[in-house]
Amino acid sequence: MSNPILHIDNLHCEYGARARDRICAINGLSLRLFPGETVALVGEEGSGRTTLARAVLQLLRPAGGRLVCDGQDLLQLGGASRREARKGIQWVPGCARETFDPAWSLRRSLHEPLLASATGSTEPVGDRIAEAADLAALPPDTLDRLPGQLDDATLGHAALARALVPRPRLIVCDEPGVGLDDDAANALSRVLASVIRTRFVACLLLTADFSMAARIADRIGVLYLGHLIEIGPAGGVWEWPLHPYTASLVSALDRVRKLPGPPRPSVTLSGGLPPGGKIPPGCLLFPRCPKAEPERCAKEIPVLRKLGFAQRAACHYAVPPVDPDDPPDDGPSQGPPT
Ligand code: SF4
């Protein structure tokens, strides 16, 4: 297996200056992303998705742990080496329009990351921009237009092109396609997935849209109160969610539209996230979980343990999925009927 492009190891991120006000937004998260792989992290507002994106993009300093990108420990680098390493990580925002200067043509906006990264390459800038536009399925005739002359779908592709111009190793994608109609969002997702696979880039996809994560990610991780509570191959997590929290997210989607895949049990949580992000003792989900066993769940913290093929969940009572194509063993054959 190749080396990971991104290795997040036991990451902790906190907010709040005083110890008694401190909120832990990411708590002991570990994750590896390999070349050509998309890992989606899903969860409600307040799950820690945005904090994680900010930490990977080095917009905030984690309180502990390691962030290694392409073999370099980003938290140990300073000054020029940190800026150099940062060039390999690019961001694709959800609301693309807000991130383009309305007075600049797309060509000028796409040129900007090259100026910022000062690659020293002798390759013509026009070729780099044309290559990125082509990869992102951005029509060449849009490059000399202003953002105000283009629709949101085109600007979504332009934001992807802008991220690709510096030829990054890692793309952090925040709610791609948010606000677009289904066709436009699906088209953008397909282009993104194709770029990741063909260019051997890694993609960390942060989204509240579980169905989109299932469509384009290779693996899905589920965040709750800054903890990774389930992770596995996208098809497994989507079709056989093992953690009650994951099951509740899929159930909520099942209730509003008929989704592909086998029928899944309906799971509804009680209440909302604890106020102020306060972490309860025992299992994080205990106050909301319909499957909780108070004796154990209120006291004992469940660990993220392997339950199925490469699928892990942090629940005392989660059991491995049953493959419907793998019939139960009925014991020794009785021989052909007579
Ligand atoms: S450990 Fe208990 S409270 Fe936590 S998710 Fe599992 S059943 Fe629910």
Q: pLDDT digits over 123-164, tens only?
A: 788 899 999 999 999 999 999 999 999 999 999 999 999 999
Helix, coil or strand: residue 308 = strand
How far is ligand 1, taken at its centre, from the CA of residue 288, in Å?
9
Tell whether the model's pLDDT for residue 291 goes beyond 80.
Answer: yes
Query: If you average pLDDT over residues 228-241, what whole number do you get?
Result: 93
Which residues does a 6 A CB cutoff place in the pocket of ligand 1?
A: 244, 283, 285-286, 289, 291-292, 297, 302, 315-317
For the cut 90, the answer to whether the pLDDT of residue 332 exceeds it is no
Residue 328 DSSP code:
P
Residue 2 gets which letter from DSSP? P
DSSP line for 110-172: HHHHHHHHT----S-HHHHHHHHHHHTT--GGGTTS-GGGS-HHHHHHHHHHHHHTT--SEEE
Closest atom of ligand 1 to 291 CA is 7
Q: What is the pLDDT of residue 118?
A: 56
Report the atom number in ligand 1 closest to the C-alpha of 290: 8
Calculate how far, in angstroms, residue 234's C-alpha sits from the geometric centre of ligand 1.
22
Least confident of 28-32, 76-80, 194-198, 320-324: 320-324
CB-based contacts of 135, cutoff 8 Å, min separation 6: 160, 161, 164, 191, 195, 199
**Can you tell me the mean pLDDT for 270-296?**
88
Q: What's the one-letter identity of residue 67?
A: L
Q: Read off the pLDDT of each residue in 53-73 and give the average, rounded to a whole number.
A: 92
Q: Could you tell me if 154 and 115 are in contact, meaning their C-beta atoms sit under 8 angstroms apart? A: no
Q: What number does the ligand 1 atom closest to the CA of 244 have?
A: 5
- For residues 69-102, b (16+ Cβ closer than 10 Å) or e, as one string? bbeeebbebeeeeeeebbbbbbbbbbebbebbee
Q: Is the pTM of this model over 0.75?
A: yes
Q: Is 323 helix (H, G, I), strand (E, B) or coil?
A: coil
Mean pLDDT across the chain, nearest whole number? 88
